[in-house]
Homo-oligomer: A and B are copies of this chain.
Amino acid sequence: MKRTSRDIRTANRYEVLRQIIAASPTSRQELAAATGLSLATVATLVGELLDLRMITEVGFEDSAGGRPRGLVAVNASGGALIGVDIAETYVHVELFDLALNVLARADEDMRPGESLPEQVVSHVAAAVGSVVAQAGIEGARVLGVGVSVPGQVDRATGVSEYAPNWNWHDVPLLDLLTEHIAYPLYLDNPLRASAVAELWFGAARGRGDAVVVNLGTGVGAGLVLGGGLHRGVSNSAGEWGHTTIVLDGRLCRCGKHGCVEAYVGASGIMLNLRELSPDSTLLHPEDQTATIAALAEGLRTGDPVAVKAIRDTVKYLGAGVADLVNLFNPEVVVLSSWVAAALGEPLVAEVREAVARHALPRPFAATEIVLSPIPTDPVCLGAATFALEGALQSVGQRNAKRTTPARSRTAPPS
């Protein structure tokens, strides 16, 4: 899609709120300096956010030789946002205030075999009900619920087009959720959720071009390009997990051979370990989480099998990340999701070395490679951020419908 002036307007609204959340209290002048927007534009956008009670006036500061400047801050209690991370084996839900502090959490385990949409939906509904009850807030204050589901998603229609783990095809997930959940719902996938979390609150904040590499059971790359999320023409950009790294190589669960995911996803890593040492005590054949945890512990203690298994994995991962560096020439590559979090800095150090060998020297020199700095579940945070973006976008739509400028309390935006 080409970016229209309305897209730019929405992006500017995001940018101003992002900045206020990061640096409350702050003045319009500071916001203009930090965002590069004109003071008039900032004043308009701040007016909209005040109208929405997402931010509040919190006093004045002296400015050298001028009038005192009004200060604004995020109104943490001005609303609540819910993020839902639907994964293969669990549903994790967090409720946030508007400063994106976690107020409540709920988890539901999914048993093997529980793969029907209705089963997943009832877990989500239970967990959403739980966080609202725990937080003790009125339903009216929930601005929205962002839902992340693996696979390919049509956000406009709320359909899970394809979820490889459950073999879902064209499941109308948002319609099913609407029967149980009364709040505005926003559907997307974990790649985009973790990318938007980095863009708003993590290592991609203030960056133009960033790649968020998700290393979990599934593998993919969330793309921040030109300061915004790159979705592609049908919202499926970033399927790096199914790019070819070894032509005619290992069979991948997508049915192709030699995909990145077949070597560096959790089950790919287990296979690397099994090929290296079939009887290793690190290997928990039916339990990805336990195996990755054992490898992480082995890395810390210098267990030679763990070190070698990770090195074998990084041979593929380094080449795959180098491909992203060569293609996108990003400012930063962020390693995210649970496998990256579990293996931590030792993994990142190995990846940096391997990317140095595989990438072209100049784009490599221009790229940082870091672990996600987000302390909570980035997918939940990102899903909640989609709900926040949805709430901010609906402002724009309301404003666009106002035909008489007199109803608008602020000047027209530049």
A-side interface residues toward B, CB under 8 Å? 1-5, 8, 36-38, 152, 161-162, 207-209, 221, 223, 225-228, 230-240, 242-247, 249, 254, 256, 315-316, 319-320, 322-323, 326-331, 358, 360-363, 365-367, 414
Contacts and interface: CB of A to CB of B under 8 A. Distances in A.
Given A162-B362, A233-B366, 7 more contacts: A226-B228, A233-B367, A234-B366, A237-B327, A243-B322, A246-B247, A247-B316
Contact of A360 (B152, B221, B366): B152
A35 to B, nearest CB: 9
Given A244-B245, A360-B236, A360-B254, A231 B329 contact: yes
Contacts of A2: 36, 207-208, 226-227
A329 B236 contact: yes
Contacts of A249: 247
A59 to B, nearest CB: 30
Given A208-B233, A360-B152, A36 B256 contact: no
**How would you classify the secondary structure of chain A's contact residues: helix, strand, loop or mixed?**
loop
Contact of A225 (B225, B320, B331): B225
Given A226-B1, A316-B247, A232 B330 contact: yes
Contacts of A5: 8, 36-38, 414
A358 B256 contact: yes
A233 B330 contact: yes
A322 B245 CA distance: 12
A363 B236 CA distance: 7
A203 to B, nearest CB: 14
Given A225-B230, A233-B366, A362-B236, A242 B208 contact: no
A228 B240 CA distance: 22
Nearest to A414: B414
Nearest to A11: B3
B326 A240 contact: yes
15 contacts: A3-B3, A152-B360, A209-B232, A221-B327, A225-B226, A234-B362, A236-B363, A237-B327, A239-B329, A239-B363, A240-B326, A244-B319, A244-B320, A244-B322, A247-B316
